[in-house]
Amino acid sequence: MNRAATVEGDAKVRLFCGLRLPDDAADTIAAWQTRLHRGRIVPRDNLHLTLAFLGWRPREDVDGVVAALRRRCAETPPPVFELERYRETRSVGMLVLDDEGGAATALAADLHERLERLGVYERENRPWLPHLTVLRFRQRPKFSPPVPQVGPFSPSDAAVYHSVLRSHGAQYFVVESYALGG
């Protein structure tokens, strides 16, 4: 376990659970992002794979979210990902990942169920998509770049994040993180 931030003193906090990238993958992706000339680049330290976005939650919910992630991480071997393609939505550019063996998809599904039972999460109407948001924009730049050459990688760990909105974009603080597989 790694407790890196606190959320004391805030009535509500903006939370999400995510998988953190190994340094070499994050470095390669950050260098690749310099080719994306329009929009707001997601900073290297903010790169992650979102497992569940919970939004604004009462501070009292943090311990339950942390416990749900901790229990699930102990049961999950590190997933293996490969970058598949670049994709844009109305507001973000992302790298879509192939979840080799489906370990991350199983982790996300089980975590969603645990968080729903706690009453802190409502599952989306679409299937979970393993991806890294790399760019945010107001108008689609319609990029079609080749994906960076990262090769297969596994997340270093999973974390509960506190997202603080700032004028220059969100800043993410790790509340707690846990190694996958115990």
74/97: higher pLDDT: 97
For tokens 């569940």, name the residue.
52
**pLDDT tens, residue by residue, 99-144:** 999 999 999 999 999 999 999 999 989 999 999 999 999 999 999 9
Q: What is the pLDDT of residue 167?
A: 84
pTM of the model as a whole: 0.89
Of 83, 28, 72, residue with least CA distance to 177:
72
Contact 83, 95 (CB under 8 A): yes
Q: What average pLDDT score do residues 13-28 get?
A: 96
List alpha helices for the chain, DSSP H. 23-33, 62-74, 103-118
Say which residues have a Cβ less than 8 Å from residue 63's Cβ, sequence separation at least 6.
none
Q: How would residue 4 be classed by pLDDT, with cut points 50, 70 and 90?
A: very low
**pLDDT tens, residue by residue, 32-65:** 999 998 999 999 999 999 999 999 999 999 999 9
Which domains are seen in the chain, by residue range? 12-159+166-178 (3.90.1140.10)
Give all strands of the β-sheet with 12-20 in edge-to-edge order. 48-58, 12-20, 157-166, 169-178
Q: What is the pLDDT of residue 1?
A: 44
Contact 91, 138 (CB under 8 A): yes
| Rounded Cα gap, residues 27 and 29, in angstroms | 6
Phi and psi at 142, nearest 5°, equal 55, 45
Q: What is the pLDDT of residue 151?
A: 94
Q: What is the pLDDT of residue 75?
A: 82
pLDDT of 81 higher than 70:
yes
